[in-house]
Amino acid sequence: MSSTEDLDYPQILFQYNNGFLVSKVMFTACELGVFDLLLESEGPLSSDAIAERLGTSATGMERLLDACVGLKLLGVEIKSEGAFYRNTQVSNLYLTKSSPKSQYHNLMYYSKTIYLCWHYLTDAVRDGRNQYERAFGVSSKDLFEALYRSEEEMIKFMYGLNAIWSICGKDVIAAFDLSPFTLIYDLGGDFFKDPIPEADLYILARILHDWADDKCMQLLAKVHKSCKPGGGVLLVETLLNEDKTGPLETQLFSMNMLVQAEGKERTPTEYSTLLTAAGFREIQVKKTGKLYDAILGRK
Ligand code: ASE
């Protein structure tokens, strides 16, 4: 494709413009239980049968199903009696509630929480901080209080993160030989207030990206103090390229940290600098080629 064609018909802009429509179609089909019903049904189902079983309008369901076919989340077979829909392999594996790799909770967290925060993205860029006050009326200065503003919200968040972990966890854990570390402590809860017990290895998975540099330094210094000599710290984060030109997914997550948290996604050098300043050495970075990468530092 030549650049004149690009300028005459800016397909990429149309695609980006419609990006959130795509997200919402997937979230809605998931929320209504379309993929669960098609997993449990003996064979393909008609739109009317799906609408009746899920208690929706026939006209709404037919359009939702057809859009899912367009997105390759459903397959369709046209018979003389009409159209019959079935799950694709990806939908069976990841979009049904009962699958061990189900992304249902992750999608629901995006649909119910992240989507609302992103309504205030312009404000977030203007203010340079998260948008809990505008999106949910939470005026707390404490990120934990905002992120976990109710027990229900905390559980939705944890289930969402867990869903991603069910896909990405194994690559991160395989990135380094962790067998020398016998006592491993996975940081969670309010690690700024709570004491951190002595251990050989501390795992900080998707922790530092929530916080500004000063808080990261404070936390890493605390971890370093508790760490046994010869022990280490394993950071699990999505890494930006050194020049911050990508990956796109990481750039978008960094924007999410702006609207939802106090931190940002960082480059390998930025994480190394934080670790070194806290007293860790022999820092190794492993890109996994998947969403989450791993960084190991030693005491
Ligand atoms: C956090 C992780 C996440 C804090 C808030 C979060 C995720 C969503 N919201 O530590 C998971 C990663 N996804 C995105 C869009 O950032």
Q: CATH no. for residue 252?
A: 3.40.50.150
pLDDT digits 0-9 by tens, 35-84 = 999 999 989 999 999 999 999 999 999 999 999 999 999 999 999 999 99
54 assigned to some structural domain: yes
Residue 140 has a pLDDT of: 79
Closest residue by CA, ligand 1 atom 12: 253
pLDDT range class, residue 141, cuts 50, 70, 90: confident
22 assigned to some structural domain: yes
pLDDT digits 0-9 by tens, 220-277 = 999 999 999 999 999 999 999 999 999 999 999 999 999 999 999 999 999 999 999 9
Closest residue by CA, ligand 1 atom 3: 161
* Pocket, ligand 1, Cβ cutoff 6 A: 114, 161, 206, 210, 253, 256, 260-261
Residues 135 and 266 in one domain: yes
225 assigned to some structural domain: yes
133 assigned to some structural domain: yes
41 assigned to some structural domain: yes
Contact yes or no for 81/98 (Cβ under 8 A): no
Give the count of domains, the chain. 2
pLDDT digits 0-9 by tens, 87-104 = 999 999 999 999 999 999
Q: Encoding tokens for residue 291?
A: 């969403």
Q: How far is the CA of 41 from the centre of ligand 1 (A)?
A: 34
Contacts of 86 (CB under 8 A, 6+ apart): 38, 43, 44, 45, 74, 75, 76, 77
Residue 80 has a pLDDT of: 97
Q: Which of 105, 257, 265, 293 to mutate to test the pocket of ligand 1 (most atoms within 8 A of CB)?
A: 257
Residues 280 and 175 in one domain: yes
pLDDT range class, residue 4, cuts 50, 70, 90: low
Q: How far is the CA of 257 from the centre of ligand 1 (A)?
A: 7
Residues 86 and 120 in one domain: no
Scanning the structure block, which residue is given the tokens 């030693």?
298
pLDDT range class, residue 3, cuts 50, 70, 90: low
Q: Which of 253, 254, 292 to mutate to test the pocket of ligand 1 (most atoms within 8 A of CB)?
A: 253
Scanning the structure block, which residue is given the tokens 């330094």?
217
Closest residue by CA, ligand 1 atom 7: 161
Distance CA 108, CA 157 (A): 9
* Domain end residue (candidates: 94, 117, 152): 94
Residue 120 has a pLDDT of: 98
Residues 146 and 226 in one domain: yes
Residues 145 and 273 in one domain: yes
209 assigned to some structural domain: yes
Distance CA 160, CA 105 (A): 5
Q: Which of 130, 260, 266 to mutate to test the pocket of ligand 1 (most atoms within 8 A of CB)?
A: 260
Residues 234 and 275 in one domain: yes
Q: Does the model's pTM come out above 0.75? A: yes
Q: How far is the CA of 256 from the centre of ligand 1 (A)?
A: 7
3-state SS assignment for residue 233: strand
* Domain end residue (candidates: 72, 94, 116): 94
How many angstroms separate the first and last alpha carbons of the chain?
Answer: 53
Closest residue by CA, ligand 1 atom 15: 253
* Residue 8 belongs to domain spanning: 3-94
Residues 109 and 168 in one domain: yes
3-state SS assignment for residue 202: strand
**Ligand 1 atom with the shortest distance to the CA of 260:** 5
pLDDT range class, residue 139, cuts 50, 70, 90: confident
Residues 37 and 154 in one domain: no
Catalytic residue numbers read: 209
Average pLDDT, the chain: 96
**Ligand 1 atom with the shortest distance to the CA of 206:** 10
99 assigned to some structural domain: no
* Domain end residue (candidates: 49, 74, 94): 94
Residue 5 has a pLDDT of: 65
Q: How far is the CA of 263 from the centre of ligand 1 (A)?
A: 11
pLDDT digits 0-9 by tens, 175-215 = 999 999 999 999 998 999 999 999 999 999 999 999 999 99
